[in-house]
Structure 1
Amino acid sequence: MSPLQTARGVFTLCLAPILTFIVSLLALIDMLWVRRSEWQAQQFPRWWGRTICRLAGVQVRVEGLEYIDPKQTYIFAGNHASQFDIFTFQGYFPYDFRWLAKKELFRLPVFGWAMHRVGYIPVDRSNSRDAMKSLDAAAARIAKGKSVLIFPEGTRSPDGHLKAFKAGAVLLAIKAGVAIVPMGFNGSFQVLPKGRWLPAAGEIVLRIGPPIVTTGCRPKDKQKLAGELHEAVAALLDEAHKPLPDDAGPEPAQPQQA
């Protein structure tokens, strides 16, 4: 990384928390005292995502928007290779959606309050029973018209290659009765891999595939559907992000959550 890009990366790293606080505060004020519209308040996190990408020298291109009907509700599911997947989708995906986030984040001052007010959906991961209850609650909110983004791998890939999927995203789609949209984040690992602090300049290409319909599916079909989703996401990835032979397919079913 050149000295100029290093300086740029340091500047982005230092400014990102400040921007996050400012955007959270503005969204909170907007929701409490100004327009009081969840949809309109999304302009603040959208600006946040775009600004962080621009500060880091990251260009973003989105392909496949023709597959999306803005009037429909979806669960968007993609690979997770970098923190910049979040900035990319938040800043450059043009349609309304919400995040699923662990419930602990909603307790944070300002940031957590803003997440609650703009309609983000908490998920409890403390134990299997509470996780299933929060999954049912999330499914009910999605069924009422809130599209969400999920990373079925559960965490960032350590090497940039697509890993096995957990079946939770698919089960959520089945419960909510909505289609799943596969997505591929390409180039984000090169911008900021897991374990590195400073982002590098580059291009991220977000590819969107045709929705996978869940109509008629039952919870017992979740492993099969997770496999189909994994294949669909893999097809949207460049070679540097495609799964390695040992990483293909969904994770084995968890009996206690069946």
Structure 2
Amino acid sequence: MKRLLPWASYLIFIPLMLFVTVACGSLSLLVSLWDKSGRQQHAIAQLWAKLMLGIALSPMKVVNPQNLHLGRAAVFASNHLSYMDTPALFGSLPFQFRILANHYLFKIPFIGWHLTRSGQVPIDQSSMRSMVAGLMRGVATLKSGMPLLIFPDGGRSSDGHIHQFLQGAAFMAIKAQVPLVPLALVGTYELLPMHTYHLAPRPLMLVACDPIETTGMTTKDAEALTNRLMDAIAVEYYRHSKLVQPESVPENQAKIPSSQL
């Protein structure tokens, strides 16, 4: 479908999305007063996600859904393409989880209130020390039995391609000795790329790849595990995307040296 006219996005779709976000954020804040497990707040987040996808006229399809039903804590790692990635994932993953999110999101009204009250995990990428501290909070979440979602590329792709992954997802999976599940998200870049708010509705796809066991691994294996994760996501992403896979993976400027993990 061709990109919607600017006036339609700004006068209809964006205001509807803002209304849904404010309404669900307020409801989540209210529910948090008695919902200590976060289950009800997560259900509200899933409702928000499905409403956002509905407003965007972009249905989700999940491929290999059996790989999502592990029955235990795991790190779920997805490529990051768009602001619509979070609704796509919250609307697709059929279980309660926490998300490792950039700390600045916790300062945004309604969204930040939900993130804080529902126990999501902030990470500050401004320094190596604060970044590792955030990863250790993620490890604690995993050891408590709660699955964790992360975008290992550290930020949205500006060109729709997969860039070099950071080692945080592998580090947390290894430290907690839980599986690492690659998730290939397709279509959200075309739906809403960076630097625009003009929607181009389309079907979206989430491919759940085979889980990677980390039992017996140490943090010395983080780099190799990160490359394995990236390869698994890239294979499925470029298989279903209209983009042509480049010969080499673009570097990520925020790379975490393995010596710091």
Q: TM-score, normalised by structure 1?
A: 0.90
**Matched residue of 2:203: which SS?**
strand
Does 2:63 align with 1:51? no
Match of 2:105 in 1: 105
The unaligned stretches of length 5 or more in structure 2 are none
CA distance in 1, matches of 2:32, 2:138: 21
**Matched residue of 1:71: which SS?**
coil
Are the counterparts in 1 of residues 3 and 199 from structure 2 also a CA contact under 8 Å?
no
Does 2:201 align with 1:198? no
Amino acid across the alignment from 2:260: Q
CA RMSD, Structure 1 to Structure 2 (Å): 2.4
CA distance in 1, matches of 2:188, 2:108: 27
Match of 1:16 in 2: 17
1:62 to partner: Cα distance = 0.9
Amino acid across the alignment from 1:212: I
1:68 to partner: Cα distance = 2.5
Superposition pairs of residues 35-184 of structure 1, within 5 angstroms = 35-184=35-184
CA distance in 1, matches of 2:241, 2:26: 40
Q: Which moved more, 1:110-119 or 1:60-69?
A: 110-119
**Matched residue of 2:81: which SS?**
coil
CA distance in 1, matches of 2:78, 2:244: 12
**Matched residue of 2:59: which SS?**
strand
Aligned residues: 257
- Deviation string for 1:144-193 (max 9, x for gaps)? 11111111111111111111111111111111211111111111111111
Does 2:238 align with 1:254? no
Distance 1:5 1:109, change over 3 A: closer
Amino acid across the alignment from 1:20: T
CA distance in 2, matches of 1:174, 1:242: 32
Does 2:246 align with 1:244? yes
CA distance in 1, matches of 2:2, 2:187: 19
CA distance in 2, matches of 1:253, 1:70: 29
1:53 to partner: Cα distance = 1.1
Are the counterparts in 1 of residues 164 and 250 from structure 2 also a CA contact under 8 Å?
yes
Match of 1:25 in 2: 26
Amino acid across the alignment from 1:152: P
- Deviation string for 1:68-94 (max 9, x for gaps)? 335211111111122221111112221
Seq. identity, %: 30
CA distance in 2, matches of 1:57, 1:106: 28
Are the counterparts in 1 of residues 4 and 198 from structure 2 also a CA contact under 8 Å?
no
